[in-house]
Amino acid sequence: AIAIFWFRRDLRLEDNAGLYHALKSGLPVLPIFIFDKEILKNLEDKSDARVTFIYQTIKALNEGLQKLDSSLLVIYDTPEEAWKKLLTKYNIKAVYTNHDYEPYAKKRDEAVAQNLKKHNISFNTFKDQVIFEKDEIVKDDGKPYTVYTPYNRKWYSKLTPFYLKPYPNKKYFAHLFKTKPFPLPALKDLGFEKSDLEFPAIHYKELILDYAEKRNFPAIKGTSHIGLHLRFGTVSIRELASTASTFSQKTWLNELIWREFYMMILYHFPQTANHAFRPEYDHIKWVNDEKQFEAWCKGETGFPLVDAGMRELNATGYMHNRVRMLVASFLSKHLLIDWRWGERYFAQKLLDYEMASNVGGWQWAAGCGTDAAPYFRIFSPDAQLKKFDPELKYIKKWVPEYADISKYPQPIIDHAFARDRCLKVFKEALTK
Shortest separation between residue 111's beta carbon and ligand FAD, angstroms: 26
Q: Which residues are CB-neighbours of 229 under 8 A, at least 6 positions away?
A: 200, 202, 235
CA 318 to mean position of chain CA atoms? 12
Spatial CA neighbour of 191 closest among 344, 59, 52:
52
Question: Which residues contribute to the annotated binding site for FAD?
Answer: 211, 252, 255-262
Pick 21 or 322: Cβ nearer ligand FAD = 322
Pick 137 or 325: Cβ nearer ligand FAD = 325
Pick 82 or 336: Cβ nearer ligand FAD = 336
Q: What secondary structure, in 3-state letters, does 234-281 show?
A: CCCHHHHHHHHHHCCCHHHHHHHHHHHHHHHHHHHCHHHHCCCCCHHH
Q: Which residues are CB-neighbours of 151 under 8 A, at least 6 positions away?
A: 137, 145, 257, 261, 264
Binding site for ligand FAD (CB under 6 A): 215, 223-227, 230, 255-256, 258-259, 262, 321, 324-325, 328, 346, 350, 352-354, 357-358, 360-362, 365
* DSSP run (H or E) holding 425: helix 415-430
Shortest separation between residue 326's beta carbon and ligand FAD, angstroms: 9
CA distance 425 to 335: 11
Residue nearest to ligand FAD (CB): 361
Helices 381-388 & 321-329, crossing angle to 10 degrees?
170
Question: Which residues contribute to the annotated binding site?
Answer: 211, 252, 255-262
Pick 23 or 323: Cβ nearer ligand FAD = 323
CB atoms within 10 A of CB 74: 21
Pick 353 or 408: Cβ nearer ligand FAD = 353
CA distance 309 to 141: 42
Indicate the residue type of 338.
D
Farthest-apart Cα atoms in the chain, separation:
72
CB atoms within 10 A of CB 184: 17
Pick 125 or 316: Cβ nearer ligand FAD = 316
Shortest separation between residue 304's beta carbon and ligand FAD, angstroms: 19
Spatial CA neighbour of 404 closest among 395, 413, 415, 412:
395
Shortest separation between residue 375's beta carbon and ligand FAD, angstroms: 16
Shortest separation between residue 256's beta carbon and ligand FAD, angstroms: 5
Shortest separation between residue 318's beta carbon and ligand FAD, angstroms: 7
CA distance 203 to 186: 29
Burial of 257 (0-12, 13-18, 19+ CB in 10 A): buried
Q: Contact at 8 Å (CB) between 408 and 399?
A: yes
Pick 177 or 303: Cβ nearer ligand FAD = 303
Shortest separation between residue 228's beta carbon and ligand FAD, angstroms: 8
Pick 64 or 103: Cβ nearer ligand FAD = 103
Shortest separation between residue 43's beta carbon and ligand FAD, angstroms: 15
* Distances from the Cα of 216 to the Cα of 54, 166, 210, 267, 356, angstroms: 30, 31, 11, 29, 22
